[in-house]
Amino acid sequence: MAARILVVDDDDSIRELLRLHLSSAGYEVQVAEDAIAAGYLVLRSPPDLIITDVNMPHMDGFEFVAALRADNALPRIPVIFLTSMEDGDARGRELGAAGYVTKPVRADRLLSLVAQHVPGGAIPIG
């Protein structure tokens, strides 16, 4: 059974790009345009991994993950932060980040990092 990955980003093109890379590598992918929509998906059926943008309207990626971590009823889901920021490292570490992918996204880096954290992972490109 393929690992389920939730991609959270307010940019349609980034969401679609990540969905294509991940689904082509054999993962089951859900997408959400913001942390609110993502929260509903997580509560309904927690994914195996979350890839979330840091800079989003309403609630940023760090706030989203902090809210998930505060809910003891949820499993501890590995999170990869998607960012163009270089200064998010300390905040992400506090939240137990599984890693970071910087924009523009390199498919080989993304798939390699994902494969390290989810079962049934695909073979990384390159």
Q: What is the pLDDT of residues 33-42, one digit of tens each?
A: 999 999 999 9
| Structure-model confidence comparison of residues 88 and 104, the more confident one | 104
Q: What is the pLDDT of residue 33?
A: 97
Q: What percent of the chain has pLDDT over 70?
A: 89
Query: Percent of the chain at pLDDT above 90?
Result: 69
Structure tokens at 4: 């389920």
Q: Is 83 exposed, middle or buried (0-12, 13-18, 19+ CB in 10 A)?
A: buried
Q: In the predicted model, is pLDDT for residue 67 greater than 60?
A: yes
CA–CA distance, 84 with 104 (Å, rounded to integer): 8
Regarding pTM above 0.85, the answer is yes
Q: Are 51 and 80 in contact (CB under 8 A)?
A: yes
CA proximity to 54, closest of 94, 20, 103:
103
Asked if residue 62 lies in contact with residue 18, where contact means CB atoms within 8 angstroms, the answer is no
Mean pLDDT for the chain overall = 88
For residues 8 and 55, the answer to whether their CB atoms sit within 8 Å is no
What is residue 125's predicted lDDT score, i.e. its pLDDT? 42
Strand order in the sheet with 99-102: 28-32, 4-8, 49-53, 79-83, 99-102
Structure confidence at residue 43 (pLDDT): 96
Give dist(CA 62, CA 126) in Å, integer. 30
